Structures are given as C-alpha cells and as structure tokens.
C-alpha cells in the first residue's frame, strides 16, 4: 500500500509519497515530495505530476493534515475526481500518537502536532525537544522527554510582518521575504532596512523563545527547525539546531502507520 501524506498550510501545500519500506521505519522516510505555493492561482496544476507518480498504484491511502479549510475543500474535489476509489483520512488531534498536555488539543494547529510526532520519531528518547516551524506564522513548541506536547508560542512569519508594515503605514513598501541567505543587519535604504528588521527580529524572537522554553524543560532539548521559511535561519539559532525539511509529513506518516498497524 502506498501512503501519501498531505500538509495543507496557509501559504503552501505539500504532498509526500511514502512507499511501504519508507513509512514503516522508526522515522518514516519520504520518497518524493510535490508542493505548490497557494498564492499562485495555478497551484492546482501541481496535482498533475503527483497523480502521474501514483497512476500505476491500485491502492493509495491519503492522510491529510490541514489548517486551511477552503484549500482542503478544493484539494478533496481534485483528489476524488482523479482517484475516486482511494482511501482519504482527514487527520485530527485524536488520530495522532501523541499525548497533548493542553486543555483543548483539538484547537491546536494540526501542523504543530504532526511536527511534534515527527520530532518524537527522531529525537533522543532521553531528551526533550523544541520544534520551530517557520511559515506564514512562526511556532516554537516544547516536547517533554516523555514525548508529551506541552504547548508553545505563535508569532508572525516574515511575509506576514512585511505585509503588516506595508498595509499599516503610508510609505513603507511591500518587500519580498523569500530570502535564500540572511540579509545584512544594517539596511542602506528602506527595503533593505525592512529586510534587516524583519529577518533579524525573527531570529531574535526564535532564539529568545528557545532559551525561555529550555529553562522550563528538564534537560537540554534537541531543537528541530522546519517549514518553508526555515532555511535562511539555519546557522543563526545555534550549532545544535537540526533542520528537517519535511518534519510535518514525517509526523503524518508516523500517525498513519500507528493507526494502520492497529487495524
């Protein structure tokens, strides 16, 4: 059986194909990933090569974790039209092999919880963990050494900060935030000054939250960095930070394995 894990965020959709030998490992290994930015009106076209990749597979199970209801509705219509016989699972907090120590687990973003599941498959079982997700929003979440999701913090991502500075002022321009490398910390004109403030402010926010959460956790945590906007932060958050590009997809696959093995 082929598993496709789907992570639908506010600005991007990612689909990871897991073959049986990959998703049954302790930390599931994704074979290939298809993704699209949701700000592009043509994002639905990304599904064509995805469906071509599984065209010869008679049975596919789709596990979908979403924080974006309109896009989920659109994707389900595309999926059911292309592969009406496939099994589809919309993932909720109760489907995840994760203890969640907050009053309302069902109100926590499923992407945050799935990434925590992914981190639990990778971390040293004797150490707690912190998971930093960098996307439309930035989340910094704590996991105890027992593997319990303790909660975390949510802040603005770079694109959201840039848009707010533009929309709530008269003269500040809207700048692109898809940085491949870190901008200079001293801007020579307004766009570069905005880039400096947004990027290094983001780095400072994440650093401070990691430090504060570390004080609460029992022992030094492993820190995992993931998300579409995470790459430029690599190297600026400390030497022990581990970048895992598809951590949420790994968590979804681990959850699917746990449920399917029981069945």
How many Å is the Cα radius of gyration of the chain? 19
What is the four-CA torsion angle of 132, 172, 190, 140, rounded to 10 degrees?
-10
Q: What is the largest CA-CA distance in the chain?
A: 61
Report the C-alpha gap between 68 and 47 in whole angstroms: 17
Token pair, residue 28, equals: 């599931």
Q: Which of 247, 215, 233 is nearest to 111 (CA)?
A: 247
Q: What angle do CA 19, 95, 146 make, to 5 degrees?
A: 95
Active-site pick, 45, 74, 111, 124: 111
**CA neighbor of 99 nearest in space, from 79, 110, 115, 113:** 113
Look up 111 and say whether it is catalytic: yes
89 C-beta neighbours (distance < 10 Å), count: 18
With residue 176 as reference, give the H or E element that holds it.
none
Helix 158-167 with 190-216: angle, nearest 10 deg: 130
- Residues serving a catalytic function are 111
């Amino acid at each position: 059986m082929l598993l496709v894990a789907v992570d639908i965020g506010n600005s991007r959709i990612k689909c990871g194909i897991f073959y049986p030998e990959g998703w049954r490992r302790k930390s599931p290994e994704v074979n290939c990933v298809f993704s699209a930015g949701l700000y592009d009106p043509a994002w639905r076209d990304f599904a064509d090569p995805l469906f071509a990749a599984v065209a010869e597979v008679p049975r596919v199970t789709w596990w979908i974790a979403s924080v974006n209801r309109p896009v989920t509705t659109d994707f389900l219509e595309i999926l059911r039209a292309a592969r009406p016989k496939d099994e589809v699972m919309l993932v909720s907090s109760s489907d995840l092999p994760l203890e969640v120590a907050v009053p309302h687990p069902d109100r926590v973003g499923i992407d945050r919880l799935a990434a925590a599941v992914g981190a639990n498959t990778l971390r040293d079982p004797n150490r707690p963990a912190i998971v930093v997700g960098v996307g439309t929003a930035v989340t910094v979440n704590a996991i105890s050494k027992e593997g319990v999701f303790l909660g975390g913090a949510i802040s603005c991502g770079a694109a959201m900060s840039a848009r707010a500075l533009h929309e709530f002022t008269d003269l500040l321009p809207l700048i692109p935030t898809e940085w491949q490398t870190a901008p200079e910390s001293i801007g020579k004109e307004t766009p570069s000054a905005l880039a400096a403030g947004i990027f290094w402010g983001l780095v400072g926010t994440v650093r401070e939250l990691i430090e504060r959460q570390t004080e609460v956790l029992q022992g030094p945590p492993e820190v995992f960095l993931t998300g579409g906007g995470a790459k430029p932060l690599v190297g600026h958050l400390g030497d022990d930070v581990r970048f895992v590009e598809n951590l949420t997809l790994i968590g979804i696959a681990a959850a699917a394995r746990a449920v399917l093995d029981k069945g």
